Amino acid sequence: MPPALRAVLGKLITTLIVLFGVSILIFCIARIIPGDPVRIALGPNASQDMVDALRAQMHLDAPLVTQYVYFLRDVLHGDFGMSLYSKRPVIADIAQFLPATLELMIVAGIIMVGVGLPMGILAARTRDRWPDHLVRVITLLGVSAPGFVWAVVLMLIFAYFVPIFPIAGRISNSFQIPQVTGFMLVDTLLAGNLAAFADAFRHIILPACALAVTGIGQSARLTRANMVETYRKPYAEMAQSYGFPAGRIARRYVFKPSLIPSLTVIGLDFASMLGGAFLVESVFAWPGLSRYGVNVILVKDLNGIVGTVLVIAATFLIMNIIVDLLVWWLNPRFRLGGRS
Amino acid sequence: MDDLTLRIRDLNLRFKSLFSDTAVLHGISLHIRRGERVALVGESGSGKSVTARIVLGTLQELKTSRISGTVEVMGRDLKKMTEKERYALRGRDISMIFQDPTSSLNPVFRIAELFHEVLKRRDPGISAAAARARAAQMLAQVSIHEPERALDSYAFQLSGGMNQRIMIAMALANEPALLLADEPGTALDVTVQAQTLELMREMVERNATSVLFISHNLGVVREFADRVYVIYKGRIVEHGTTEALFADPRHPYTRALMAAVPRLTGGGIPDVPEVSESFFDPMITHEGLREPEPTR
Amino acid sequence: MKKAFAILLSNPLSVLGLVLIAFVVLSAVFADVITPFPSHRGAVVDFANFNQPPHWPNIFGTDLVGRDLFTRIIYAYRVSLLMGLFVLLIAPPVGTVIGLMAGYMGPKTGYALNRLTDVFLSVPPLVLAMAIMGVLKPTLTNGMLAITVMWWPWYARLVYNITRAERVEGYVLAAEVIGASKWHIMFREILPNCLPAVITKMTLDFGFVILMASSLSFLGLGVQPPTPDLGSMVAEGAKYLPDSWWLTVFPGLAILIAVFGFNLLGDALRDMLEAE
């Protein structure tokens, strides 16, 4: 087996082990800390018979390890139980709300990379001169406030004072778009409704920007740091000695090799937007998984909490695998093996 | 004196920061004529490498560097040139070979792509195909038997000796007037280093390229250079033809340096001589040699 | 040490950071003396004076029940700083010990501890803290615990990486040759080399803990009213945008200033660390 393939397989196995660990962690949080989940589910007015019946049905009378096995079996079948909050299967809720969050994250991720990396490149090229200092202050400010502060600031400026973007929601009520993928930007295009697409696009800009601010700051700082280090490498000096154009040196000869170590962390920043989305969605009334997550937590809907956290962890891990594959693909040394 | 490729007169260099001020070069002078191979010999930290970086014009761009004195490349004073004009020299009139060829070749580009970029310095519009043909031709000249395979490889897939040949071919592809060789191949095996130096010598002789050869290794210098400057702590201490200097080393530091070198053409860094007051004795210039007068 | 301090003071950004931190800490410590309305930290109502834009003496305006916003903000800093102190007294030592053990105790222990760390790192920090808060009562102590639980893995990862790099260094090998115990090598030889990085991270993290705590309370999972808290003030005020803008803008700015101060200082420390 080629070493590269073995590395990817090893990564996959590790991920599965970690996911297994996450399920134990979530199970512990959900089953041990809060006391009696049946009481919570049925409410104080339920009779003892009802409680006992449900307890047996949920295998809560069995030892903890057995309970966990049942729990794992259900989860593997995609069964997270019923949501107390929505009175529907949790999995149906997640299927409904996850696409909106993913769509928001993808747009925010594009903004993060599209703004953050060029800022980092600029800072690295002008290191220790004023554009570098300016980028440093801006990016530090960016990571110094949580997403909800940026959401409020952007909303105040671009939705109230200069009302160019809508205040809340995914799309104006006047549009009726059949749900196919759950991604509004895709569904409007599938429906062939360009006006609706433009409207959905206007709706997603502000929340996506608010979600991206932290990531922009982090990716710009990381890009700068890794590029400054790469500028010290002999091959960067070679490019300068041979008089390659400075812009090309920065973008191709320094940025590209420096991207390989950056990418893993940028991928992590992207995946952490799953957390940031909680803050932004609630400001912009974005009907995504995060808003659902907050609601289930506030009503202590255990099945909803477990389902949401597990799905988020799985999404997070899948994204990490994708990033690892991307790094692997970008780095010819991994791809081709070769002598070390 | 139009045959002067490089003339350095009274070059001083200091690095100044908020908390320190370090003098690195104390007024060194040297010259290289067309087709001449001149060595600058000294320990690490003596100021050899920074001299090459000043000639290239890259050190001038550093905010902390303070440079005085004149550096003329082909009769043109670097200080009177704009940054753009200095930049235009690089890769066209001046090129450089480094200590470790493998880490000097960018790991995410194939050799052919790097060659293309190098050739664009002289001919900005050159097509990838034309660049490839020229690169293959250059690689054949440095005795690479399968140039096509090398061109499609990344540096990390090739041996150090192979990369050094590629580096030499790249450095000479644009027929520069001056080649700066900063400890070329020190990172390689002794035998591989000797082979590639021999190859480099043939190539520069054929093109009448001037070479500033920077090394700590007197054995290698003896094989390669016509004339030698010995540098100690930012000062030139002795200047002579290779023959005269090796037959009759006169400066105490030169003698100490020679005593420290193993007889064989050895790789690795020789033992640095014990520091002695006499190393700061006045500079010695062998008979018949002197620094040329300014062109203007 | 003296020189390090001189370098720090020569950089205008780190000086700004120190000034901001001093401002935050001093206003929190001397809140009782600074504000003319110390009672407004609690459940006070002044309907004659509610929802007023900034004016003298309510320089940041008043909230929906007439309390002075400036007073609420500097008392909220107390909660934030307490949160930061608590989390950073517990998480870094725990993470450091686990990181040292993972890096030095042999492959099996290392693998197990690293996967344990991975489990915590594979849920976005805020989500994990939310889940814990979701099942616990939303009190200050529980909030601090929830944040601590999700914070130690970052230190474990940091120290693990340094330990892996240091364990092949000459001084560690020398200690092994003379038969020093594992504990001696971990805590006396390797640990001192991890400390600069850990301390730098702690400076940066002080800001991020404040940020995380305000995020939790913004979602209604943190400190409960009437205790003043920056996150819940923003959440409350956001309902009255744009007319009562001061209700959100000033608490938001307060978060920004505090976190920015710690970030500026931490950033300068990190630069110094890397320059060495």
Cβ-Cβ contacts under 8 Å for B259 (sequence gap 6 or more): B273
Q: Measure CB to CB from residue A300 to each of C132, C134, C231 and give the nearest one.
A: C134
As given in the structure block, the two tokens for residue C192 are 């001192």
Supply B3's token pair.
């045959």
Rounded to the nearest angstrom, the minimum Cα separation between C39 and chain A is 27
Q: Of A5-14, A19-28, B20-29, C186-195, which range is least confident?
A: A5-14
Q: Is C252–A144 a contact, with Cβ atoms under 8 angstroms apart?
A: no
Yes or no, beta carbons of A25 and C119 under 8 Å apart: yes
What's the Rg (C-alpha) of chain A? 24
Please name the residue of chain C whose CA is at the shortest distance from the CA of residue B19: C7
Whether residues A313 and C256 touch (CB distance < 8 A) is answered with no
**CA A175 from centroid of its chain's CA atoms:** 28
Amino acid making up residue A208: A
- Report the gap between the CA of B185 and the closest CA in chain C (Å): 28
Q: What is the second-level CATH architecture of the domain B4-285?
A: 3-Layer(aba) Sandwich (3.40)
**Dist CA C231 CA A148 (whole Å):** 9
**How far is residue A94's CA from residue A292's CA, in Å, rounded to a whole number?**
8
In a mutational test of the C interface, the residue from A15, A150, A152 whose CB has the highest number of chain C CBs within 10 Å is: A152
Contacts of A53 (CB under 8 A, 6+ apart): none
A257/B170 Cβ within 8 A: no
| Shortest Cα distance, chain C CAs vs residue B53, angstroms | 23
**Chains touching C, CB cut-off 8 Å, 3+ pairs:** A, B
User: What is the C-alpha to C-alpha distance for residues B155 and B142, in angstroms, rounded to an integer?
Assistant: 16
A to B CB pairs, distance under 8 Å: 76
pLDDT at residue B11 greater than cutoff 80: yes
Q: How many residues does chain B have?
A: 296
Residue C51 included in any domain:
no
Q: Do strands B37-41 and B227-232 pair parallel, antiparallel, or not at all (unpaired)?
A: parallel
- Inspect the interface and report whether the beta carbons of A257 and B106 lie closer than 8 Å: yes
Structure confidence at residue B25 (pLDDT)? 92
Mutate to test the interface with B, among A132, A231, A235 (most CBs of B within 10 A): A235
Per-residue pLDDT, averaged over C98-125, amounts to: 89
**pLDDT: which is higher, C73 or C37:** C73
How far is CA C232 from each of CA A177, A305, B3, C254, rounded to the nearest angstrom?
36, 22, 79, 13
Q: Where do we find the tokens 């030698």? A: B228
Number of neighbouring beta carbons within 10 Å of residue A295:
17
| Predicted confidence (pLDDT) per residue in B43-64, tens digit | 888 888 899 999 988 888 787 8
Residue B267: pLDDT band by 50, 70, 90 thresholds? very low
Strands B21-33 and B4-16: antiparallel
Residue numbers in C near A295 (CB within 8 A) = none
Strand B65-73 vs strand B76-77: parallel, antiparallel, or unpaired? antiparallel
Q: Do the chains contact at A332 and B87, CB–CB below 8 Å?
A: no
Phi, psi angles (nearest 5°) of residue B200: -65, -40
* Any B CB within 8 A of C2 CB: no
Q: Is the pLDDT of residue C270 over 90?
A: no
Q: What pLDDT is stored for residue A338 in this prediction?
A: 45
Cα C40–Cα C41–Cα C46 angle in degrees, nearest 5: 25
Position B18, amino acid: L
Which residue, chain included where needed, has tokens 């996959």?
Answer: A12
B147-186 pLDDT per residue, tens: 999 999 999 999 988 999 999 999 999 999 999 998 887 7
**Sign of the Cα pseudo-torsion (C38, C42, C44, C50, in order):** positive
Least confident of A31-45, B18-32, B192-206, C190-204: A31-45
What integer pLDDT is reported at residue A337 of this predicted model? 56
Mean pLDDT within B29-37 = 92
DSSP letter string, A245-278: -HHHIIIIIIIHHHHHHHHHHHHHHHHHHHHHHH
Q: Is the pLDDT of residue C13 over 70?
A: yes
User: What integer pLDDT is reported at residue B264 of this predicted model?
Assistant: 46
C47 domain-assigned: no
Q: C130 CB contacts (<8 Å, ≥6 apart)?
A: A278, A293, A294, A297, C216, C219, C221
Q: Tens of pLDDT along C62-88?
A: 888 888 889 999 999 999 999 999 999
| C-beta atoms of B107 and A239 within 8 A | no
Residue B63: HSE in the Cβ half-sphere, 13 Å Cα cutoff: 7
Closest CA to A5 of A340, A337, A338: A337
The partner residue sitting opposite C127, judged by closest CB among A19, A298, A312, is A312
Contacts of C10 in chain B (CB under 8 A): 18
Which chain B residues touch A if contact means CB-CB below 8 Å?
56, 58, 63, 87-92, 95-96, 98-100, 103-109, 117-118, 121, 154, 156-157, 159, 170, 180
Residue spans of the domains in chain B: they are 4-285
Report pLDDT for B183: 87
**Does any domain span residue C75?**
yes
| pLDDT, position C272 | 82
Q: How far is B258 from chain A (nearest CA, A)?
A: 30
Q: Is residue C116 part of a domain?
A: yes
Is C49 domain-assigned? Answer: no
In sequence order, which residues have a C-beta less than 8 Å from that of residue A116 and are 6 or more positions away?
Answer: A215, A216, A217, A218, A219, A220, A223
Distance in angstroms (rounded) separating the CA atoms of residues B277 and C143? 69
Residues of A in contact with C235 (CB under 8 A): 148
Asked if residue C129 has pLDDT above 70, the reply is: yes
Instruction: Please count the structural domains in chain C.
Output: 1
Contact state of A257 with B63 under an 8 Å Cβ cutoff: no
pLDDT of residue C37: 83
> Does residue C148 lie in a domain region?
yes
| Average pLDDT over all residues of chain B | 87
Thinking of the domain A96-300, which architecture would CATH place it in? Orthogonal Bundle (1.10)
- Tell me the residue type at B257: L
Q: How far apart are CA A185 and CA A203, in angstroms?
A: 10
pLDDT at position A340 is 37
B-interface mutation test, from A237, A242, A258, A340, most B Cβ less than 10 A away: A242
pLDDT score, position B263: 46
Phi and psi torsions of B210, nearest 5°: -80, 145
Report the residue of chain B nearest C10, measured CA to CA. B18
Stretches where chain A sits below pLDDT 50 are 338-340
pLDDT in the model for residue A71: 84
Looking at residue C254, its pLDDT comes to: 95
Q: Does C3 touch chain B if contact means CB atoms closer than 8 Å?
A: yes
